């Protein structure tokens, strides 16, 4: 199991790993793409992004041992496959209620499908609350 999972905290660590990430809109305003490798952690209702992925691995990551670059509230968020928005393959777009938009990408088909499924599951769970 992932470090931090099932530790009794109400913020369950659901998934963690490396993805290519770029923010493409902030509050509905389009931004210039700037792809970078990001350590992505799905914990509770949030997707949390960390820099410096080299110092992070799934087995040693613990909540609170490094400062997040940014964090996305998944409540009310929308997820769509978005291969038309990039020359890269395996791209999906995450849009927050506040109008922030991110593209996430992996070269590994199975990995990106798992991320999509897991994030969608959390969004749907929050929609039902």
Residues making contact with ligand I3P (CB under 6 A): 32-33, 35, 86-88
Q: Of 38 and 56, which CB lies nearer to ligand I3P in the complex structure?
A: 38
Nearer to ligand I3P, 29 or 32 (CB): 32
Comparison of 5 and 25: residue with beta carbon closer to ligand I3P: 25
CA distance 108 to 52: 20
**Dihedrals φ, ψ of 90, to 5°?**
60, 55
Angle at 77 between CA 70 and CA 107, to 5 degrees: 65
Find the shortest distance in angstroms from Cβ 13 to ligand I3P.
Answer: 29
Assess contact for 74 and 120: CB atoms under 8 A: no
CB of 76 to ligand I3P, least distance (A): 25
DSSP assignment letter at 80: E
| Chain residue at closest Cβ approach to ligand I3P | 86
Strand partners of residue 54: none
* CB 88 to ligand I3P: min, Å: 5
């Amino acid at each position: 199991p992932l470090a931090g999972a099932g530790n009794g905290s109400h913020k369950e660590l659901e998934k963690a790993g490396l993805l290519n990430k770029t923010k493409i809109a902030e509050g509905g305003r389009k931004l210039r793409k700037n792809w970078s490798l990001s350590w992505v952690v799905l914990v509770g209702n949030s997707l949390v992004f960390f820099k410096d992925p080299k110092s992070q691995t799934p087995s040693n990551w613990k909540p609170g041992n490094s400062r997040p670059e940014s964090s996305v509230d998944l409540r009310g968020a929308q997820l769509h496959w978005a291969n038309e928005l990039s020359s890269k393959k395996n791209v999906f777009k995450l849009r927050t209620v506040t109008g922030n938009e991110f593209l996430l990408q992996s070269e590994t088909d199975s990995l990106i499908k798992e991320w999509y499924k897991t994030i969608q599951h959390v969004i749907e769970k929050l929609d039902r609350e």
